[in-house]
Amino acid sequence: MKEYNHLKIEKKWQKEWEKKGIYHAEDKSKKPKFYGLIEFPYPSGEGLHVGHIRSNTAMDIICRKRRAEGFNVLYPIGWDAFGLPTENYAIKTGIHPQKVTKKNTDIFRKQLKAGGFSFDWSREVNTTDPEYYKWTQWIFLKMYEKGLAYKDKININWCPKDKIGLANEEVVDGCCERCGTEVEKREKEQWMLAITKYAERLDKDLDDVNFLEKIKIQQRNWIGRSEGVEIEFRLSGVGHPTAIKVFTTRPDTIFGATFIALAPEIAKKITGKDFGIKIEIDRENKEKIGVDTGLKAKNPANGEMLPVFVVNYVSAEYGTGAIMGVPADDERDKEFAEKYKLPIIENYKKAGFKDYGKKITQFKLRDWVFSRQRYWGEPIPMINCEKCGWVPVPERDLPVELPKVKNYQPTDSGESPLANITKWVNVKCPKCKGHAKRETDTMPNWAGSSWYFLRYIDPKNKKSFADFKKLKYWLGNDPRHSGVDWYNGGMEHTTLHLLYSRFWHKFLFDIGVVPTSEPYAKRTSHGMILAEGGVKMSKSKGNVINPDEIIKIYGADTLRIYEMFIGPFDQSVAWSTDSIIGSRRFLERVWNLQYKVQKNKKYTEFEIEKTIKKVSEDIEEMKFNTAISTLMIFVNEIGKLDFISQDVYETFLKLLSPFAPHMTEGLWKILGHKNSINFESWPVYDLSKIKNKQIKIVVQINGKVRAEIMIRAEISEEEVKKQAISNETVSRHLSGKEIKKVIYVKNRLINIVV
């Protein structure tokens, strides 16, 4: 008997599969296609996380099953490599981020290959490759051309300690994510993308995609669509001809309005005065403050003159920046009214929805701040000419490559380090050939990840980001109901990445370069893997599990099985090194079953049909933990027998192969097959083969289990009742009692009510 040697087996088959390129997707195929996608990793210096193994294995199992079901499968991988950690490392060490990225991707690649994932490595993409970001820049230029990219003076988050502009997502509770310093607002010219123009469609089209409900809910909350009415309140008294427009979702409460509240910016616009009211960033300070502007506004419903206040709880960025205060119906207005002794009307008359204004739709979604004052990102391909203003870099000059710099530290003025490279910055205007300067801001790291799944389809194309025919094949022909077939990723990317990439895709659809209006047909999400004890894995806590070591000791197959068995796929789970042994023991049992195989004996006693059904269904629902427990139960049962017929063993190996590809491949060859188990078709089940001559029925009395009886299948209800009542234990419990009712659930239980 040969022992299960995972090191030898895994190395051997990984080499063989790579050599033969068996996981390469075909661009021209008569088979139906399946495009399975995972979020491409950020190659951090910390190496692969066991969480990567979890989500990659899940999609790997689905893709392997699809191949066995006869699909032409695309399961690609790449690197989302622009970003802060690499840049910060460069600032600290002076090593070029490209070098760091190369080193990290090499490590990640090696680690992923050791996991035995069926990626098509020939399509690897890297967002920091100029051949890749050329097209990221190209998409930006198209957006500029269509008026979706524009420059605007806005408040950005500024960390006074790091002297750096921060993205919203880098601000945690009003403080810098890295140094904890309180963030200030600073006005700065930024490139913006008009995602709000797509708000309506981004919301509505969620109806047509197969995303998990909680993902749709989060997207909808983020977009924040609400229908209301815009009402004009005419100003009078101080010689103001203007009116104040108010947005409300409750126009029916207009008779209860006792004041008007303005955002500070709006008040300044109307009166030209600064009232010293500020909207605090500090979220804990929720006390409502206001100043009376002295203006009066006429309520169009009843002609009453209402005082107009500047307040700190109305934002200029939502609605019209002005509200009607209805203290009787709104908690915030009530708090304000009580503090400033304003009247609170109860029992006022209700108005109709559109009686005093016109219906409009508002969104919480804001336009996307697209500029970063950083080095390690895609340069924004724009040139500022003294005469012509902003001029896009001509397409033929793409990509605008990142120049070499000596110092990656941002400048004191908050500009990108690129601003110091005068040779790079100073250019001729493409229009008038006059003196001009390049934009020195770069794109956020959400840019490259907004379209990477399209590049996988045609990664080496030099003429376009991807050939349209290939896009049509892999995304489908139906413009409304297609895209990547199945996209799995983390919940943390539900609002930003998922929304941004849907926005970009819709834009590309509108200009006719992609065939579908939605990028992803189906989206699911995984839970995180936490350290033992349920805390986050982190270097500083020293509780990070390195997958390499687990693979070395137990094998990739064991790690894969363990991570799929660890708990429900969509929930967070705590790592437990002690429990891995169970997955290893299971695989060893499977391995040892080969010595019980008898070639010519037909095996009829045990039903593999149920196992096929359950495992097949569980994979589709991502219930990998119960799929594995089903496989374990089968092995436990079959292990009790003296011999196993080869056909049953082979069917079992096919079911196990997506989970443990290396071992099953090894066994497949040992059984005498020349071809890879990867080319075998997925087992089908035939429920009619399950012969249940005897069925176990539970007998309850008043809902309490008292006995079990065996019945023949298909006997009548009357006979089952007779048999149940005649049971010894049952009759003992029934003696001296009157039977009121008998409930019979077919093939399951009988409940006698006394």
Partner RNA sequence: GCCCGAGUGGCGGAAUUGGUAUACGCGCACCACUUAAAAUGGUGUCCCGUAAGGGAUGUGGGUUCGAUUCCCACCUCGGGCACCA
Closer residue to RNA, CB minimum distance, 420 or 572: 572
Among 743, 653, 664, 740, residue whose Cα is nearest residue 697: 743
Contact by Cβ (8 Å): 485, 34: yes
Contact by Cβ (8 Å): 193, 370: yes
| Polymer length of the chain | 754
Amino acid letter at 581?
I
Q: How many CB atoms lie within 10 A of CB 399?
A: 19
Amino acid letter at 633?
I
Q: Least distance from C-beta 713 to RNA, angstroms?
A: 14
Q: Least distance from C-beta 650 to RNA, angstroms?
A: 21
**3-state DSSP helix/strand/coil % of the chain, to nearest 5:** 40, 20, 40
Q: Least distance from C-beta 65 to RNA, angstroms?
A: 19
Closer residue to RNA, CB minimum distance, 18 or 492: 492
d(CA 66, CA 682): 8
Q: Least distance from C-beta 321 to RNA, angstroms?
A: 6
Q: Least distance from C-beta 513 to RNA, angstroms?
A: 31
Residues whose CB is less than 8 angstroms from the CB of residue 642 and which lie 6 or more positions away in sequence, other chains included = 596
DSSP 710: E
- Output the six-digit token pair for 666: 């090894």
Closer residue to RNA, CB minimum distance, 107 or 496: 496
Among 686, 682, 683, 525, residue whose Cα is nearest residue 73: 682
Distance from chain centroid for Cα 45: 23
The C-alpha R_g of the chain, in whole angstroms, comes to 33
Contacts 24+ apart (CB under 8 A), 197-200: 197/148, 198/503, 198/506, 198/507, 199/223, 199/225, 199/363, 199/365, 200/225, 200/361, 200/363
E strand or H helix at 584, and its extent?
Answer: helix 580-592
Closer residue to RNA, CB minimum distance, 430 or 568: 568
Q: Least distance from C-beta 504 to RNA, angstroms?
A: 20
d(CA 26, CA 472): 14
Q: Least distance from C-beta 328 to RNA, angstroms?
A: 13
Among 376, 367, 382, residue whose Cα is nearest residue 138: 382
Closer residue to RNA, CB minimum distance, 384 or 592: 592
Closer residue to RNA, CB minimum distance, 343 or 639: 639
Residues whose CB is less than 8 angstroms from the CB of residue 331 and which lie 6 or more positions away in sequence, other chains included = none
Beta bridge partners of 457: none
Residues whose CB is less than 8 angstroms from the CB of residue 15 and which lie 6 or more positions away in sequence, other chains included = none
Query: What Cα–Cα distance (Å) separates residue 310 from each residue in 265, 456, 506, 618?
Result: 9, 53, 40, 58
d(CA 225, CA 247): 13
Contact by Cβ (8 Å): 469, 28: no
Beta bridge partners of 125: 78
d(CA 497, CA 519): 12
Closer residue to RNA, CB minimum distance, 681 or 729: 729
d(CA 488, CA 497): 12
10 Å CB burial of residue 547 (0-12, 13-18, 19+) is buried
d(CA 343, CA 305): 13
d(CA 295, CA 273): 12
Q: Least distance from C-beta 641 to RNA, angstroms?
A: 11
d(CA 397, CA 428): 13
- Output the six-digit token pair for 658: 């997506």
Closer residue to RNA, CB minimum distance, 7 or 705: 705
Amino acid letter at 153?
K
Q: Least distance from C-beta 593 to RNA, angstroms?
A: 11
Closer residue to RNA, CB minimum distance, 28 or 704: 704
Amino acid letter at 142?
K
Beta strands 486-490; 522-526: pairing state: parallel
Phi and psi of 703, rounded to 5°? 80, 0
Residues whose CB is less than 8 angstroms from the CB of residue 504 and which lie 6 or more positions away in sequence, other chains included = 139, 450, 451
Residues whose CB is less than 8 angstroms from the CB of residue 102 and which lie 6 or more positions away in sequence, other chains included = none
d(CA 288, CA 309): 12
d(CA 561, CA 586): 9
Q: At what angle do helices 97-114 and 6-20 cross, to 10 degrees?
A: 110
Q: Least distance from C-beta 150 to RNA, angstroms?
A: 21
Closer residue to RNA, CB minimum distance, 223 or 466: 223
d(CA 115, CA 6): 12
Among 700, 697, 722, residue whose Cα is nearest residue 710: 697
Q: Is position 539 annotated in a ligand binding site?
A: yes
Closer residue to RNA, CB minimum distance, 381 or 555: 555
Closer residue to RNA, CB minimum distance, 409 or 625: 625
| Binding site, annotated residues for ATP | 539
| Binding site, annotated residues | 539
